[in-house]
């Protein structure tokens, strides 16, 4: 039975990945290209400043794959494979939740697990460490940033699971409605503490030592030796649009998985009764 759930999870995850890719290709990819154009312009301005200061200019990185390949094949394959992987994990979470969350219908449970997956794996970590387009972020902090993000994902999922467990424990004493509110309040407090305790990316040691103490790694205006701005900081509108479309793409992925998996799960858990056979000649 578990294998059948996982196979269907892979399928609905791939479907969600395709839908998310179509959305991202139309809306997010132009924002990525605009961010790359900004980065190229900033690098050119920095090269001019370096030459004026008598410093050697850094050699431009050579791209293995063209932007056409990256923006179509790359992002498409990546999102479909990511969707399939999330679909398999979603199916495992659904199997584990069956029978442990009260008398929920299979369809209702499928939608709630999808909502929990979206919140725990993306939206809550996004509140602390939002998605960034190219040119936002420093190469020397990639490992630290990746570790902090994965830690936030793990904390978010663990807190959500504990909130469900707490709600089930409190339900016999307080009733379903009050128990749900108390569990949600405890979840919000725990996540708030985690978000407050984890460091801001701009406060990482490598960033403070090289660029000073700032809230984020978003590029500030580039200045010359006299303090004059020679290239603007990263456009706020572009950053907002990219993050908005990133959240929307993930919402499409998880919504598609929940809506597609719900009827499949109900069919597996509540199969249609077999037709009654009558003796011949009756």
Checking if the pLDDT of 273 tops 90, the result is no
Q: Provide the residue ranges of all domains of the chain, joining segments of one domain with +.
A: 1-60+68-136+236-270, 139-217
Phi/psi region, residue 272 (left: phi>0; alpha: psi -120 to 50; beta: rest), is beta
- Residue 102 tokens read as 């009260």
pLDDT band at 50 (very low <50, low <70, confident <90, very high): confident
**pLDDT exceeds 90 at position 57:** no
| CA distances from residue 16 to 78, 90, 182 in whole angstroms, order as listed | 12, 12, 33
**pLDDT given for residue 271 in this prediction:** 65
Q: What is d(CA 159, CA 56) in angstroms, rounded to the nearest whole number? A: 50
pLDDT at 194 over 50: yes
- Who's near 219: CB < 8 A, 6+ residues apart? 42, 135, 136, 233, 234
Token pair for 111: 């939608």
Q: What is the pLDDT of residues 76-132, one digit of tens each?
A: 999 999 999 999 999 999 999 988 887 889 999 999 999 999 999 999 999 999 999
pLDDT at 125: 98
Q: In the prediction, which pLDDT does 56 show?
A: 77
Joined together, the tokens standing for residue 107 give 């369809």
Residue-wise pLDDT tens digits, 134-147: 989 998 999 999 99
Provide the pLDDT confidence category of residue 60 given band limits of 50, 70 and 90.
Answer: low
Question: How many C-beta atoms lie closer than 10 Å to residue 143's C-beta?
Answer: 9
- Radius of gyration for the chain, computed over Cα atoms and rounded to the nearest angstrom: 24
End-to-end CA distance of the chain: 37
pLDDT tens digit sequence for 237-257: 999 999 999 999 999 999 999
Neighbours of 276 (CB within 10 A): 5
pTM: 0.90
Cα separation, 116 vs 13, in Å, equals 15
């Amino acid at each position: 039975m578990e294998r059948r759930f996982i196979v269907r999870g892979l399928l609905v995850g791939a479907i969600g990945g395709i839908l998310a890719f179509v959305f991202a290709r139309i809306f997010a990819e132009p924002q990525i290209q605009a961010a790359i154009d900004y980065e190229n312009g900033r690098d050119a301005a920095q090269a001019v400043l370096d030459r004026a200061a008598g410093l050697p200019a850094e050699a431009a990185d050579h791209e293995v794959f063209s932007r056409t390949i990256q923006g179509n094949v790359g992002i498409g394959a990546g999102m479909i494979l990511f969707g399939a992987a999330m679909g398999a994990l979603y199916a495992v979470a659904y199997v584990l939740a069956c029978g442990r969350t009260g008398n929920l219908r299979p369809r209702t449970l499928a939608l709630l697990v999808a909502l929990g997956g979206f919140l725990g794996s993306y939206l809550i970590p996004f509140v602390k460490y939002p998605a960034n387009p190219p040119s936002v972020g420093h190469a020397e902090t990639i490992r630290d940033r990746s570790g902090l993000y994965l830690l936030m994902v793990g904390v978010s999922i663990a807190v959500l699971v504990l909130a469900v467990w707490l709600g089930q424990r409190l339900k016999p004493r307080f009733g379903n409605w009050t128990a749900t509110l108390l569990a949600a309040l405890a979840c919000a407090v725990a996540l708030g503490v985690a978000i407050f305790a984890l460091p801001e990316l701009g406060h990482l040691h490598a960033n403070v030592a090289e660029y000073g103490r700032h809230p984020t790694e978003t590029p500030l205006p580039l200045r010359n030796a006299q303090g004059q701005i020679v290239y603007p900081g990263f456009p706020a509108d572009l950053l907002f649009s990219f993050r908005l479309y990133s959240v929307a793409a993930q919402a499409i992925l998880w919504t598609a998985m929940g809506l597609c998996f719900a009827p499949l799960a109900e069919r597996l858990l509540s199969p249609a009764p077999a037709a009654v056979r009558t003796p011949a000649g009756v």
